[in-house]
A and B are shown apart, each in its own frame.
Chain A
Amino acid sequence: MSSSSPEDDVVIGELTVLLSRVRAGEHEAFDRLFSLAYRQLHRMARQRMLASGPQMTLDTTGLLHETYLKLSGGRMQDLRDGGHFLAVAARAMRQVIIDFARRRRADKRGGKQCMVTLDCERIAVADQAERLFDLDRQLDVLARQDPRLVQVIECRFFAGLNEQETAVALDTSVSTVQRDWVRARAWFAGQRDSEQTRDGA
């Protein structure tokens, strides 16, 4: 069992309460749950990195499931609650990944050296970090027009959930998930084209 610092401890049963409050649409509950999930994901990802050095790998879906286990203390929850948790944790996963990319960019620009990073010489990394930042920014824009599509992208792209799991997380059907994915692609394509049009004009 890995140890956890006191501020990360979830009071027994708190997860269930938080989830039902998230379901009822309470923002505070969402924030609390998000920060719990974020800290847990971040810590586990770091542990993996420290443990495996340059060979480090991260399986995002596995991390999500484990985070759930840790926070729930291994207790069975309603399937619906599990789903809601996945949706929140997918958002947290997006944040974790963006933060990794941010630190990577800082390394590249001569920022603080990460003690386990042996790959500062890898050239293309910064470019890719830029692409992730772009994506992150665009998702913020999309969130204003259609927040649901953002959730689908968080689940599928950042958390690596499959269609079935995404449907569970967002409490919708697989066919809706498929349709939303096509719609999200259209939005990105439209976005890119309109930017190009503007650039060209």
Chain B
Amino acid sequence: MALDDADWRRLDGALSDCLALPAGEREAELERRLGDRPELLAAAIEALRADAEPPSIGSMAPQLLESMGLDLDRREDEHWRARRLGPWEIGPRIASGGMGSVYHGRRADGAFEREVAVKLLPLSLQDEDMVRRFEKERAIAARLNHPGIARLLDGGTAEDGSPWLVLEHIDGQPIDAWSDQRSLGIRARIELLLQVCEAVQFAHCNLIVHRDLKPANILVDAEGRVRLLDFGIARLLADIDPEGATAPLGARLTPDYAAPEQFTGEAVTAATDVYALGCLLYRLLAGRVPLSVSGLSLSGMLEASSEAERPSLSSVACAGEMPPGVKASEIDADLNAIAAFAVQPEAGRRYGTASDFAQDLRRWLDRLPVQARPVGRWRKALKFARRHRTGLGATVAAFVLLAVTAGAALYQADQARAQRDEAQSVASMLQELMRLADPNVGLGHQVNAHALLRGVLERALDESAASTPTRIALLETVADALLAFELADEALRARREIHRLELASRGPNHPESLSAQRHLALALRQQRGDFEATERLFVDVLERRRRVLGPDHPDTAESLWDLGFLYLRFSDQAHPGRERAEDLIAQALAIYREQLGAAHPLTGRVLFDLGLATDDADLKLERMQRGIAIQQASATPDDLQLLQHQGDLALVLGAAGRAEEAIAMARAAAEGYVAARGELHAVSIIMNNNLAGLLRDFGRYEEALTTYRRVDELVRAVVPEGHLRRAFSLFGQGATLMALDRPAEAEAPLRQAIAVLRHNRRDNLEAVTRVELGDALKALGREAEARAEYQLALSLWREKLGRAADDPQVAAVEQRLTAGSSAVPAVTP
């Protein structure tokens, strides 16, 4: 009753052998081998002629499975057919995926003409965990508002509780097919890839890694614009989540574009996407990916993928047919070096970020030397430029000042990050840190980045943990991340330890020790710790650099600049150093002009800061504007430093009463920053807050209110309850509402602002806000409550801040208390 062993061995032997032959010769071979056993021959031929796609349980027992509910798609289609989700009507299915099925969709009321893609969570997956993950995808998509990424249009929950997303439907063609069909030349192909990099970088800045970049997920529309799709398997860098564990199951990666760390299950970082972008460069310029592993066994993939080097772009190009429009001879040594740098098997040796990769491609297009293949002098200049820190904003009003200073800390963290040769973004490092962290902490929950960073700091401070160079490298990265997450005390601890280690191993005069000391001073300055100690550290670095490197060395100039800036921005009004600030920065400027040239962007930055230190209003503006012009000459449109300088200049213009110019410039700077870093980036938030302030200063209250409200929403999304930054948008709303004569609405935000300010012990700002609240209460006829607020403000000023009775703010409040209901002068913050 069964196929016996001998028969099976014969059948199997003949079949296995013939499968090694070309398809056309198989049946003849089978006939030769099994001709004497027609039933075995028939079985073998039947098996050979099998359909390409083998049946699964669904096709073998459809009705049973239907009763068991295993035929997923059809059930689902029926479930959704002709249904409506909010205003959206569901059409035919486009695709099925692990994390959801995608349908065509259209707005039922015709309010939105274009076709959309509706993504639904499969019915079979609707339990709590999956709904949570789907919601996370929605949160990810909501963060990714970028022209190069398919946009989230809408989202909600159906009446049965299942979540849905409406995404922009992209009518386009995969990037490889698009390029080949049009026989694009090498430059046009690189331009397309640059668009991809920009979108990827945007996602990284929002702490999101795509993890599955490949031509099928990168469409080009009729206008030649690139759009990224499918962040369905994307991962937030900032949390540990069970979702991460699905990757090792092999279902959700594309082997030919997957980085080695995806096969081994090691940490996925921003560099993982860089690897895929490198593969895409190979595909677009040479016609093939550097290493094709599809079809290999898992062990084979692992082995091939971790092998040392990928073949060069040129050798891949020469080994096969070139894509139409590209000639192998156009690929030079620089381009080979860029490609090789992007697809390094070891994540730490690749470009750290998509924008580093893009920058090199751009330099190649401009025929400039590339980072992947450095040339002596240029490399030095680059290193120096990257090492450099930025200037800060202008003094206009207390609120604005504080906001700008907080933002500068973040910007400096960005700069410091770019400094290392093996630059890794905070984002990608964070992911590394996750790996080090105890996995039990993250069990199914989002992990607080602060807790994690603190944990890693403790590890890095542990002397037995690693060798000194490793600890220094780790500490530097952690210090940057800590600063980016505004943990100034912890950043200071890390910087102290680095300084100690450098001193112990290299002595006090080594340039690395001096650089460590400078960073320690920067951290101390940021933490607003002991001013004298900070000053001593900066002065000491300056003196040693003068001695060791010489008085005209750019590093010496950097120290002059540091010190000048410290006096300018961080000293008390009465501090004697304040008067020296302009002179110190001018000395630094002279050295930069001499050493780097008048047109060098760093020279422009110092000139800008010199403008900040200048008292004369006209000269101040002129210096700032010239400083910006020099930077503009060599900058890309998304140069963050430049945008921040423009934001600062807007404030100075505002202070000079030049309303239209100030508002236009503040708006442009804020928009530029949002485009480059996303709306949630701290500096973006601060710039928008400052824009709102200018709008309010110049009487455009309605616009100001809208902007403040938006800022408040964003702030709430990114900082913890009670964070000082919230006070700015809350106070702004309250004061603007007062200006609009809407005291009833002003009360709540003002009270919230006071709570935040008390929590942060900002006595002066608290007093100012209490006066504003008093005015609101008075306007509402709540005289007694109003007087109580005025009294509280006065006691803050007098007792905590030692203000005298003739202080103009104190006098203005006194007048309120005595004047009763008569008109009173405003108290400005």
Interface residues of A (CB under 8 A from B): 1-2, 12, 47-49, 51-52, 55-63, 65-66, 68-69, 72-83, 85-86, 97, 100-101, 104, 119, 122, 124-125, 128-129, 131-132, 135, 141, 145-146, 156-158, 160-162, 164-165, 167-169, 171-176, 179, 181-183, 185-187, 189-195, 197-198
Verify B57–A158 contact, CB threshold 8 A.
yes
Question: Which of B68-76, B83-91, B667-675 makes up part of the contact surface?
Answer: B68-76
Verify B122–A79 contact, CB threshold 8 A.
no
Q: For residue A192, which residue of chain B has the nearest CB?
A: B43
Task: Point out the residues of chain B lying under 8 angstroms from A74, CB to CB.
Answer: 240-242, 244-245, 442-444
Question: Of B43, B55, B128, B248, which one neighbours A190 at CB under 8 angstroms?
Answer: B43
Q: Is B818 close to A, CB under 8 A? A: no
How many angstroms between the C-alpha atoms of A48 and B249 in the bound complex?
23
Verify A160–B50 contact, CB threshold 8 A.
no
Verify B251–A129 contact, CB threshold 8 A.
no
Q: A62-B124, A186-B43 are in contact. Are A171 and B69 (CB under 8 A)?
A: no
Verify B64–A101 contact, CB threshold 8 A.
yes
Verify A82–B250 contact, CB threshold 8 A.
yes
Question: 29 A–B contact pairs at CB < 8 A?
Answer: A51-B127, A56-B69, A57-B69, A57-B124, A61-B251, A62-B122, A63-B124, A65-B249, A68-B249, A69-B129, A74-B444, A76-B439, A77-B265, A78-B248, A79-B248, A79-B249, A82-B250, A101-B68, A122-B67, A157-B55, A165-B249, A173-B296, A173-B300, A181-B50, A186-B11, A186-B12, A187-B12, A191-B3, A193-B42
Q: A132-B61, A160-B57, A182-B15 are in contact. Are A58 and B250 (CB under 8 A)?
A: no
Q: Most chain-A CB neighbours within 10 Å: which of B71, B127, B300?
A: B127
Question: Of B124, B241, B246, which one neighbours A59 at CB under 8 angstroms?
Answer: B124
Verify B64–A129 contact, CB threshold 8 A.
yes
Q: Is B40 close to A, CB under 8 A? A: yes
Q: A74-B444, A157-B56 are in contact. Are A186 and B68 (CB under 8 A)?
A: no
How many angstroms between the C-alpha atoms of A80 and B48 in the bound complex?
31
Verify A55–B70 contact, CB threshold 8 A.
no
Q: Is B549 close to A, CB under 8 A? A: no
Query: Smallest distance from the beta carbon of B241 to chain A beta carbons, Å?
Result: 7
How many angstroms between the C-alpha atoms of A128 and B72 in the bound complex?
18
Verify A124–B70 contact, CB threshold 8 A.
no
Task: Point out the residues of chain B lying under 8 angstroms from A197, CB to CB.
Answer: 39
How many angstroms between the C-alpha atoms of A32 and B251 in the bound complex?
25
Query: Smallest distance from the beta carbon of A58 to chain B beta carbons, Å?
Result: 5
Verify B298–A167 contact, CB threshold 8 A.
yes
Task: Point out the residues of chain B lying under 8 angstroms from A49, CB to CB.
Answer: 69
Question: Of B56, B251, B298, which one neighbours A156 at CB under 8 angstroms?
Answer: B56
How many angstroms between the C-alpha atoms of A65 and B68 in the bound complex?
19
Q: Most chain-B CB neighbours within 10 Å: which of A83, A85, A186?
A: A186
**Per-residue 0/1 for B215-258: is the Cβ within 8 Å of any A Cβ (1 yes, 0 no)?**
00000000000000000000000001110111011110001000
A-B pairs, top 7 by smallest CB distance, nearest first, are A74-B242, A128-B64, A189-B43, A186-B47, A168-B250, A56-B69, A185-B47
Verify A171–B299 contact, CB threshold 8 A.
yes
Verify B297–A104 contact, CB threshold 8 A.
no
Q: For residue B434, which residue of chain A has the nearest CB?
A: A76
Question: Of A62, A68, A80, A186, which one neighbours B46 at CB under 8 angstroms?
Answer: A186
**B interface secondary structure, majority:** helix
Task: Point out the residues of chain B lying under 8 angstroms from A61, CB to CB.
Answer: 98, 251
Q: For residue A144, which residue of chain B has the nearest CB?
A: B5
Verify A75–B297 contact, CB threshold 8 A.
no
Verify A189–B47 contact, CB threshold 8 A.
yes
Verify A189–B67 contact, CB threshold 8 A.
no
Task: Point out the residues of chain B lying under 8 angstroms from A146, CB to CB.
Answer: 8, 12
In the complex, given contacts A1-B128, A97-B68, A172-B297, what are 16 additional A-B residue pairs having Cβ atoms less than 8 angstroms apart? A52-B123, A69-B245, A77-B245, A79-B249, A79-B298, A82-B250, A83-B249, A97-B57, A122-B63, A131-B61, A141-B2, A157-B54, A157-B55, A181-B50, A182-B47, A194-B39
Q: A77-B245, A195-B2 are in contact. Are A183 and B297 (CB under 8 A)?
A: no
Q: Is B1 close to A, CB under 8 A? A: yes
Verify A182–B249 contact, CB threshold 8 A.
no
Which B10-65 residues sit within 8 Å CB-CB of chain A?
Answer: 11-12, 15-16, 19, 39-40, 42-44, 46-48, 50, 54-58, 60-65
Verify A57–B76 contact, CB threshold 8 A.
yes
Query: Smallest distance from the beta carbon of A104 to chain B beta carbons, Å?
Result: 7
Q: For residue A69, which residue of chain B has the nearest CB?
A: B242
Verify A198–B42 contact, CB threshold 8 A.
no
Task: Point out the residues of chain A lying under 8 angstroms from B249, CB to CB.
Answer: 65, 68, 79, 82-83, 85-86, 165, 168
Q: For residue B124, which residue of chain A has the nearest CB?
A: A59
How many angstroms between the C-alpha atoms of A68 and B442 in the bound complex?
17
Task: Point out the residues of chain A lying under 8 angstroms from B47, CB to CB.
Answer: 182-183, 185-186, 189
How many angstroms between the C-alpha atoms of A162 and B255 in the bound complex?
14
Task: Point out the residues of chain B lying under 8 angstroms from A55, CB to CB.
Answer: 69, 75, 79, 123
Verify B444–A73 contact, CB threshold 8 A.
yes
Q: Most chain-A CB neighbours within 10 Å: which of B240, B250, B296, B299?
A: B250
How many angstroms between the C-alpha atoms of A79 and B58 in the bound complex?
28
Q: Most chain-A CB neighbours within 10 Å: which of B1, B47, B68, B76?
A: B68
Q: Is B125 close to A, CB under 8 A? A: yes
Task: Point out the residues of chain A lying under 8 angstroms from B3, CB to CB.
Answer: 145, 187, 190-191, 194
Q: A1-B128, A145-B5, A145-B8 are in contact. Are A80 and B64 (CB under 8 A)?
A: no
Q: A65-B251, A83-B250, A171-B298 are in contact. Are A73 and B67 (CB under 8 A)?
A: no
Task: Point out the residues of chain A lying under 8 angstroms from B128, CB to CB.
Answer: 1-2
Verify B129–A66 contact, CB threshold 8 A.
yes
Q: Is B625 close to A, CB under 8 A? A: no
Query: Smallest distance from the beta carbon of A6 to chain B beta carbons, Å?
Result: 18
Task: Point out the residues of chain B lying under 8 angstroms from A171, CB to CB.
Answer: 297-299
Question: Of A57, A75, A81, A195, which one neighbours B1 at CB under 8 angstroms?
Answer: A195
Task: Point out the residues of chain A lying under 8 angstroms from B298, CB to CB.
Answer: 79-80, 83, 167-168, 171
Verify B60–A135 contact, CB threshold 8 A.
yes
Q: For residue A52, which residue of chain B has the nearest CB?
A: B123
Q: A65-B246, A124-B63 are in contact. Are A59 and B122 (CB under 8 A)?
A: yes
Query: Smallest distance from the beta carbon of A94 to chain B beta carbons, Å?
Result: 9
Verify A58–B63 contact, CB threshold 8 A.
no
Q: For residue B42, which residue of chain A has the nearest CB?
A: A193
Verify B19–A179 contact, CB threshold 8 A.
yes
Which B118-135 residues sit within 8 Å CB-CB of chain A?
Answer: 122-130
How many angstroms between the C-alpha atoms of A124 and B64 in the bound complex?
7
